[in-house]
Amino acid sequence: MSIKKLMTSYADYNLHANQQFVNWLKSQSNEQLLKEVPSSFKGILQTLNHIWAIEEMWCADLFKNGDAVNRYGVADLKHQEVFDGLLKRSSVIAEKVSDLTEEQLNEAVNIKTPWFGANLQVCEYLQHLFNHGTYHRGQIITQAHALGFAEMPSTDFLFYKIASSGK
């Protein structure tokens, strides 16, 4: 399998998984989504906002998107704003990744942020981005269990691939 096909598949999966989460969480109240649960972030909405913030950062760093928004330190979180923003950015990332060539995906890019500096291939940064979202969606599931939420989505990559291949 080519890097292009793999990264395109992961970008589409990332959008799909985020859509599944938004569809599941939109029936919950803003109060429930902000309720404090021990984890990396105080609550479900804060965790989802963090996923969005990182997608914004990577979209700006990798694709030089001038419309990226800074989501760090936003205290007054509104669920619809977070849902819409995350899905918009995930969609843009999927589109941008599908436009990249194999050569562009293998190109090394020097990136310096407040947290790290690295000179990695674009595909490696993308793999990190997609793993990051998966990691934090797992935390949201744990937070949701603690809050008594039901009918959580199954967003494993394997199940996405099986469903999207029609098998």
Q: What is the pLDDT of residues 82-131, one digit of tens each?
A: 999 999 999 999 999 999 999 999 999 999 988 889 999 999 999 999 99
Question: Using CA atoms, how far apart are residues 146 and 154, in angstroms rounded to an integer?
Answer: 17
Q: If you average pLDDT over each of 15-19, 24-28, 156-160, which comes out highest? A: 15-19
Domain span holding position 28: 3-162
Helices 122-147 and 3-25, axial angle in degrees (round to 10): 20
Residue 167 domain flag: no
What SS3 class is residue 109?
A: strand
Q: What tokens were used for 71?
A: 């989501």
In this prediction the pTM is 0.94
What SS3 class is residue 71?
A: coil
Work out the mean pLDDT of the chain and round it to a whole number: 93
Residue 64 domain flag: yes
pLDDT of residue 81: 96
What is the domain-level CATH number for residue 48?
Answer: 1.20.120.450
Q: What tokens were used for 111?
A: 């990136």
Question: Using CA atoms, how far apart are residues 89 and 55, in angstroms rounded to an integer?
Answer: 7
Domain count, the chain: 1
- Mean pLDDT over 17-33 rounds to 93
